């Protein structure tokens, strides 16, 4: 069970955990994290936008555990969370587990975004019936928590350009244990949910979730509200990703073309320049082989100025 912590973490429990509560929210923390617990409780009670979910449809309730060490974190999560995991939500138990030790999830980013990401999981799973496709669950939490921004868009562009993006052959993306690939899977999922919201606008997206809640099926709600099958949506999403985020790849290809073209032009210019230098050298050599122009014309003038001699046939008798 979640609350039965094995002996591996017994040292952390010597003083026992403490808790703060407000309304239906409770934060469980260990000694030394009182201030963090207060900030966490305040942040958890601060409303944030949940696209598609009507205001007041879900309430903030549950328990947030602030794990002070890897041993406690692994005990609470069952040790099934990868090293880069910045937090865990267990919607069926209304539980969130956040690591608070220094080495936890390096590069996890804004802790408020992380907390809201996990709270969004609880809210979405409280509003919609199971099962929720993982791409939608993770994509919705990433988008609504503020984890999607222009930086995320550029990460997708760079991944596509460098060939690091997973094949966009299905929304059922793989979820690797590597931090970089997992981050990209989250961002692609967020792009799919965001694209759904763009297709229908705020009203259409809310109608989609309302229909999903009523009918118990994403596929049925998508057909009824958007007039699309899941396969049609996946095709439209793949097209959107390549068009919106793949332009950097196309630009890089164009850039490579012009770089190669420029290199070729510089090479040809160099060849032509060397040929010109060779020809100029040949002309200079020819000029040096000829007598100086001044001496040539002086000799000619002197010959013309000399008076006819005795043997000169031009002499008159």
pLDDT tier, 248 (very low <50, low <70, confident <90, very high otherwise): low
Q: Is the pLDDT of residue 216 over 70?
A: yes
pLDDT the model gives residue 255: 45
Q: Is the pLDDT of residue 1 over 50?
A: no
303, two tokens: 């010959």
pLDDT the model gives residue 292: 58
pLDDT tier, 29 (very low <50, low <70, confident <90, very high otherwise): very high
Helices (H), the chain: 34-45, 70-77, 111-127, 134-144, 150-162, 179-215, 218-221, 230-245, 247-289, 293-305
pLDDT the model gives residue 3: 38
Give the mean model confidence (pLDDT) for residues 46-65: 93
The CATH fold assigned to 1-127 is Glutaredoxin (3.40.30)
Q: Give the percent of the chain with pLDDT over 70.
A: 65
The residue with greater pLDDT, 307 or 212, is 212
Q: Is the pLDDT of residue 189 over 50?
A: yes
Segments making up each domain of the chain, as ranges:
1-127, 130-245, 252-288
pLDDT the model gives residue 311: 54
Q: What's the full length of the chain, in residues?
A: 317
Give the mean model confidence (pLDDT) for residues 224-251: 80
Helix 150-162 to helix 247-289 angle (10° resolution) is 60
| Residue 230 to residue 234: CA distance in whole angstroms | 6
Give the mean model confidence (pLDDT) for residues 236-255: 66
Q: Is the pLDDT of residue 125 over 70?
A: yes
* Nearest residue to 26 via CA among 58, 63, 67, 66: 63
Q: Give the percent of the chain with pLDDT over 90.
A: 42
Weakest-pLDDT range from 107-111, 221-225, 251-255, 273-277:
251-255
pLDDT tier, 179 (very low <50, low <70, confident <90, very high otherwise): confident
Q: Is the pLDDT of residue 223 over 70?
A: yes
Helices (H), 46-102: 70-77
User: Terminus-to-terminus CA distance in the chain, angstroms?
Assistant: 146
Q: What is the mean pLDDT of the chain?
A: 78
pLDDT tier, 106 (very low <50, low <70, confident <90, very high otherwise): low
| Residue 2 to residue 5: CA distance in whole angstroms | 7
pLDDT tier, 293 (very low <50, low <70, confident <90, very high otherwise): low
CA-angle at 278, arms to 273 and 279, nearest 5° = 95
pLDDT tier, 119 (very low <50, low <70, confident <90, very high otherwise): very high
Give the mean model confidence (pLDDT) for residues 75-91: 83
Weakest-pLDDT range from 55-59, 200-204, 304-308:
304-308
26, two tokens: 């409770």
Starting at the edge strand found earlier in the chain, the sheet holding 95-99 runs 18-22, 25-29, 62-67, 95-99, 88-90
Give the mean model confidence (pLDDT) for residues 35-55: 95
* Count of beta carbons in the 10 Å neighbourhood of residue 315: 10
204 DSSP 8-state letter: H
């Amino acid at each position: 069970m979640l609350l039965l912590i094995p002996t591996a973490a017994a040292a952390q429990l010597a003083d026992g955990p403490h808790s703060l509560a407000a309304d239906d929210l409770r934060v469980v923390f260990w000694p030394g994290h009182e201030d963090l617990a207060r900030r966490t409780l305040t942040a958890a009670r601060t409303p944030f936008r949940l696209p598609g979910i009507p205001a007041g449809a879900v309430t903030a309730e549950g328990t947030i555990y602030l794990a002070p060490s890897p041993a406690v974190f692994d005990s609470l999560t069952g040790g099934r969370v990868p090293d880069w995991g910045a937090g865990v939500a267990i919607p069926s138990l209304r539980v969130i587990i956040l690591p608070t030790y220094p080495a936890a999830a390096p590069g996890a980013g804004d802790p408020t975004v992380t907390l809201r990401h996990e709270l969004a999981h609880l809210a979405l799973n409280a509003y919609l019936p199971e099962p929720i496709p993982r791409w939608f669950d993770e994509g919705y939490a990433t988008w609504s928590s503020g984890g999607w921004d222009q930086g995320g868009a550029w990460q997708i562009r760079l991944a596509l350009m460098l060939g690091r993006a997973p094949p966009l052959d299905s929304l059922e993306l793989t979820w690797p244990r590597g931090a970089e690939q997992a981050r990209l899977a989250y961002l692609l999922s967020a792009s799919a949910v965001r694209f759904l919201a763009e297709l229908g606008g705020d009203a259409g997206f809310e109608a989609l979730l309302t229909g999903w809640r009523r009918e118990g099926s994403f596929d049925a709600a998508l057909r009824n509200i958007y007039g699309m099958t899941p396969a049609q949506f996946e095709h439209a999403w793949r097209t959107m990703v390549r068009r919106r985020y793949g332009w950097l790849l196309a630009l890089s290809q164009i850039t490579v073309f012009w770089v190669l073209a420029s290199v070729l032009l510089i090479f040809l210019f160099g060849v032509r320049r060397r040929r010109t230098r060779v020809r100029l050298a040949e002309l200079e050599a020819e000029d040096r082989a000829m007598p100086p122009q001044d001496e040539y014309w002086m000799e000619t003038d002197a010959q013309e100025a000399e008076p006819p001699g005795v043997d000169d046939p031009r002499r008159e008798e």
